[in-house]
Amino acid sequence: MSDPLPSWNDGQSKDDIVAFVRQARGEGSAPGVPMADRVAVFDNDGTLWCEKPMPIQLDFILRRLVEMAAADPELRERQPWKAAYAQDYGWFGAVMAEHYAGDDTNVRTVGAGILAAFGGISVETFAAKAEEFLRTARHPTLGRGYLECAYAPMVELLAYLADNGFANYIASGGGRDFMRPISQEVYAVPSERVIGSTAALTYAPDGRGGTIMRTAAADYIDDGPEKPVRIWSRTGRRPVLAAGNSNGDVPMLDFSQHGDKPFLRLLVLHDDGEREFEYTSGAEQALERAAASDWTVVSMKNDWATIFRPT
């Protein structure tokens, strides 16, 4: 029988995954998991694809903010346009550090800019812009297109789960409508199974069947305790597998615990500075919880034979 996870090195992480799937199938003395309850949820940035030196969607947003600031000098004195126009990426990095430390003052400032950047356009127009960016832009240091920045071992895991009757969902703090145009191609996850942050939407009737428009207001931010809420709202179930990489994923991983079914929590550890990036900033609480709650910590350095598919 061929190895369903060839990009994973033999070791505890791979053993935990295979054992969980076998238990879910009801092999041996395990009670098994009914097909309808085989729900797996995955964070995206830093879990399914690369998030450094900045999240891919942030690059998309920054380019739009620069365009706006170039056209309107007054915006160059307001955040986040000021930092985007001056290429002050340190400011954005500090905002994320503040967020992970529990201070969202400047996150709200960034959020207002993001919503303004793409407010007043149709969902189809936004999807087309996002898809064009994802298909043409390249990672600034890895020398590959953004769609080639998905982690090969995680794509294999998604396929392995699907082959064993699991419904895979993406539950990301990133934009739902940013990921949807490419989720099927990159992850074999259909767009209706993508859960993520979103702007508030409104319907505008016209003579062509109407249009769904983005507004400059937030609907919800799918991070932290919001993740379990959105997962339940979409699936109506508590997942049996959850995978993440940061403090914002802790509630989602907690939510996957069961008393009567097999379950698995995976935390991706970025510890490979040669092949990807090495960092634990923003994951300190998650790593503490992993140690205390017996989560499976996936070491990129030790558990993955390869990180990206060949270009």
In three state form, how does the secondary structure of 241-257 look?
EEEECCHHHHHHHHHCC
Q: Are residues 171 and 297 in the same domain?
A: yes
Q: Say how far apart CA 275 and CA 12 lie, in whole Å.
A: 21
Amino acid at 271: D
Q: Are residues 116 and 16 in the same domain?
A: no
Q: Are residues 214 and 82 in the same domain?
A: no
Q: Kindly state whether residue 70 falls inside one of the protein's structural domains.
A: yes
Q: Are residues 153 and 187 in the same domain?
A: yes
Question: Of 136, 171, 205, which marks where a domain is finished?
Answer: 136
Q: Say how far apart CA 138 and CA 129 lie, in whole Å.
A: 15
Q: Are residues 159 and 298 in the same domain?
A: yes
Amino acid at 259: G
Q: Are residues 40 and 185 in the same domain?
A: yes
pLDDT at position 70: 96
Q: Say how far apart CA 45 and CA 54 lie, in whole Å.
A: 10
pLDDT at position 7: 98
Q: Kindly state whether residue 2 falls inside one of the protein's structural domains.
A: no
CA 3 from chain centre, in angstroms, equals 26
Residue 101 domain boundaries: 56-136
Number of domains in the chain: 2
Q: Kindly state whether residue 7 falls inside one of the protein's structural domains.
A: no
pLDDT at position 288: 97
**Would you say 105 and 155 are in contact if contact means Cβ atoms under 8 Å apart?**
no
Q: Are residues 193 and 77 in the same domain?
A: no
CATH of the domain at 297: 3.40.50.1000
- pLDDT in tens for each of the 311 residues of the chain? 689 999 999 999 999 999 999 999 999 877 899 999 999 999 999 999 999 998 999 999 999 999 999 999 999 999 999 999 999 988 888 887 887 777 888 888 888 888 889 999 999 999 999 999 999 999 999 999 999 999 999 999 999 999 999 999 999 999 999 999 999 999 999 999 999 999 999 999 998 899 999 999 989 989 999 999 999 999 999 999 999 999 999 999 999 999 999 999 999 999 999 999 999 998 999 999 999 999 999 999 999 999 999 98
**Would you say 173 and 55 are in contact if contact means Cβ atoms under 8 Å apart?**
no
Q: Which two tokens stand for residue 252?
A: 């989602």
DSSP string for the chain: ---S-TTBPSSHHHHHHHHHHHHHTT-TT-----GGG-EEEE--BTTTB---SS-HHHHHHHHHHHHHHHH-GGGGGSTTHHHHHTT-HHHHHHHHHHHHTT--HHHHHHHHHHHHHTTTSBHHHHHHHHHHHHHH-B-TTTSSBGGG-BBHHHHHHHHHHHHTT-EEEEEEEEEHHHHHHHHHHHHS--GGGEEEEEEEEEEE--TTS-EEEEEEEEEE--STTHHHHHHHHHHSS--SEEEE-SGGGHHHHHHT--SSS--EEEEEEEE-TTTS-EE-TT-HHHHHHHHHHT-EEEEHHHHBS-SB---
DSSP string for 245-307: -SGGGHHHHHHT--SSS--EEEEEEEE-TTTS-EE-TT-HHHHHHHHHHT-EEEEHHHHBS-S
pLDDT at position 228: 98
Q: Kindly state whether residue 86 falls inside one of the protein's structural domains.
A: yes
Q: Say how far apart CA 45 and CA 174 lie, in whole Å.
A: 7
- Pairing mode of beta strands 167-175, 194-204: parallel
Q: Kindly state whether residue 308 falls inside one of the protein's structural domains.
A: no
pLDDT at position 1: 65
Torsion of the alpha carbons at 223, 240, 272 and 142, rounded to the nearest 10: -60
Question: Of 136, 157, 189, which marks where a domain is finished?
Answer: 136
Across-strand partners of 272? none
Q: Are residues 159 and 244 in the same domain?
A: yes
